[in-house]
Amino acid sequence: MTRLTIFRTLSLAILAGLITSSLFAQETPSRGRAKVTAVAASKKPANVNPAIATLSPKRSSKTNIEQMVHQEPANDALQPTLTLEYLEQLALSNNPTLAQAAAAVDADRGLYDQVGRYPNPQVGYLRSDNSRGDQSQTQGVFVSQEFVTAGKLKKNRNIEAWDIQRLSWDAEAQRMRVLNDLKIRYYELLGAQRAVALTHDLDRIASEGYELTDRMSRAKQVSRKDLLQAKVQMHTVRLNLREAEHRHDSAWNQLTVLIGVPDMERATVAGQLEEEVAELGWDECWTQLESNSPQMHAALTRVQFARSELERESVESIPNLSVQVVAERDRVTNSNTVSTLFSVPVPIFNRNQGNITRAQAEIRQANADVERVRLVLRDLLTDAFRRYKTARDQVSSLRDNILPDAKETLQLATDGYKQGEFGILEVLSTRQTYFESSLAYVEALTELQKVVAEINGLQLTGGLNPAEIGTALQGAGGGVSRQRAVLNKLQESTSKRLLPAALQTGR
């Protein structure tokens, strides 16, 4: 045999052995709920992905597809690991919107106390002088008090009590928005971690594949077209790696901003994207949303608030009684006089008719708003449920069909290459399909976990918006464009000066 023949034979054997040494000895992915570890700094070496290390012959074959798609990046082994529970405690302690919502409740409690307080009495001094000083010269004091009738003060407090309850529901809704957004961003970061780990391995494999193809090209064993195809694949994978790293950086920054600690030291998050997700049913989800939604409870509370206002306006025309007592001393006659005055306004022209009409209309408006909120919630759940079913179908199809078929296709291409039936171009193409399917699986798992968090969180998102603005935005329904329209309307209103400078309008 010539040296060229020997070199060609050895090169083909090496390439085939490297490609098949670890990629295809995988088992069917298993399902199971992964436990979230405690907050700690892990010192164990990073998990290595033998399932995609097609050019490393020393990797174990006892792996599966799930191990391939959820390994940690190598440098994360030296970083602390954060659990979801720990992040939730940080968010509840540091997110400023929660302090705003609590302050709004406290402010209304102060108003509740104030509107039930009795009017202060008035005390004054009086003096009268006659032009003829020898006839009369008096001076004295007076005390007056307004007596509130018809239980108006109690009714004032009843109004504010319902408003406190409404604001309390808004505060609870804001707490859930923060926790739901945190969970969504947590899964986004978890998925970004997996994507970075996966693309790091893909970059290494593509680089090694290009180097081997380059050596074979110089030996005239493959064409320049095959060499360029390997080079294109290598640069494509590197572009994917940069995109995955940018996504990871953005996911981390968005998570820490929501928590309220934007300068938080970089760390990894513990958890598994493959946590078992219970099958969700539309009827059960809708019943839970309708029964437990803080937005629905707040809408029902506004009805009671409006009814309390009508009750208060109905007694406004009942006059309060004003009593004044005047004590005087005449210094000329050395006599004392005490006068008592009673006065009440007579409701002849103004019986508060306009405010009563307004209060009646506000009751109708509040009742209609309850139905509107119910429809908005149903609309939001419809969209979320569509995304849930799509993501679940994608995960199932990728895990059970696409990934196994892509693996088998790559195995056949590799076997055919060893037999001389296929060129390296076919191997590169099938390997690229397998890589893309693996990344798509990570993306589908991430989306599934995010939309499940949204559904289980009663459709409450927007953890950086003030509580009342968040309620207004989400109460509009119809997606991001509708929310932006509502925001514009709010900013054009007469209360514009009360609105914050920055709001979240996206999902």
Q: What is the pLDDT of residues 313-368, one digit of tens each?
A: 999 999 999 999 999 988 878 888 999 999 999 999 999 999 999 999 999 999 99
Asked if the structure places residue 211 within a domain, the reply is yes
Residues 112 and 132 grouped into a single domain: no
Q: Which one, of 68, 313, 273, lies nearest residue 183 by Cα?
A: 273
Of the residues 343, 361, 384, which one is the last residue of a structural domain? Answer: 343
Percent of the chain with pLDDT over 90: 50
> Where is average pLDDT lowest: 191-195, 238-242, 355-359, 420-424?
420-424
pLDDT, tens digit (0-9, with 9 covering 90-100), for 162-200 = 999 999 999 999 999 999 999 999 999 999 999 998 888
Residues 190 and 286 in one domain: yes
Cα 383 to the chain's mean position, in Å? 16
Claim to verify: residue 325 and residue 387 sit in the same structural domain = no
Which CATH number do you get for residue 177? 1.20.1600.10
Are 109 and 210 in the same domain?
yes
Whether 360 is covered by a domain: the verdict is yes
DSSP string, 156-201: HHHHHHHHHHHHHHHHHHHHHHHHHHHHHHHHHHHHHHHHHHHHHH
Residue 243 included in any domain: yes
Residues 95 and 166 reside in one and the same domain: yes
Would you say residue 8 lies in a domain? no
Q: Do 243 and 130 fall into the same domain?
A: no
Is residue 302 a contact partner of residue 369, using CB atoms and an 8 Å limit? yes
User: In sequence order, which residues have a C-beta less than 8 Å from that of residue 257 and are 6 or more positions away?
Assistant: 464
Confidence of residue 60 (pLDDT cuts 50, 70, 90): very low
- The mean predicted confidence, pLDDT, of the chain is 79
Domain count, the chain: 2
Q: What would the two tokens of residue 202 be?
A: 């893909």
Report if residue 2 sits inside a domain: no
Residue 6 pLDDT more than 70?
A: no
* Amino acid of residue 312: R
Sign of the four-CA dihedral 243, 244, 248, 249: negative
**pLDDT at residue 132 in the model:** 65
Same domain, yes or no: 101 and 215: yes
Cα(39)–Cα(477) distance, integer angstroms: 38
Whether residue 339 sits in one domain with residue 207: no
One domain, residues 131 and 89: no
Domain around 329: 122-147+317-343
Same domain, 464 and 398: yes
Task: Please indicate, yes or no, if residue 81 is contained in any of the structural domains.
Answer: yes
Same domain, 135 and 209: no
pLDDT of residue 403 exceeding 60: yes
Residues 143 and 155 placed together within one structural domain of the fold: no
Asked whether residue 506 is assigned to any structural domain, the reply reads no
Domain boundary among 325, 343, 361: 343
Strands 122-129 and 40-41: unpaired
Q: Does residue 426 form part of some domain?
A: yes
pLDDT confidence of residue 471: 62
Please state whether the predicted TM-score (pTM) of the whole model is above 0.75.
Answer: no
**29 φ, ψ (degrees, to nearest 5):** -60, 135
Higher pLDDT, 12 or 240: 240
CA Rg value for the chain: 37
Model pLDDT, residue 51: 28
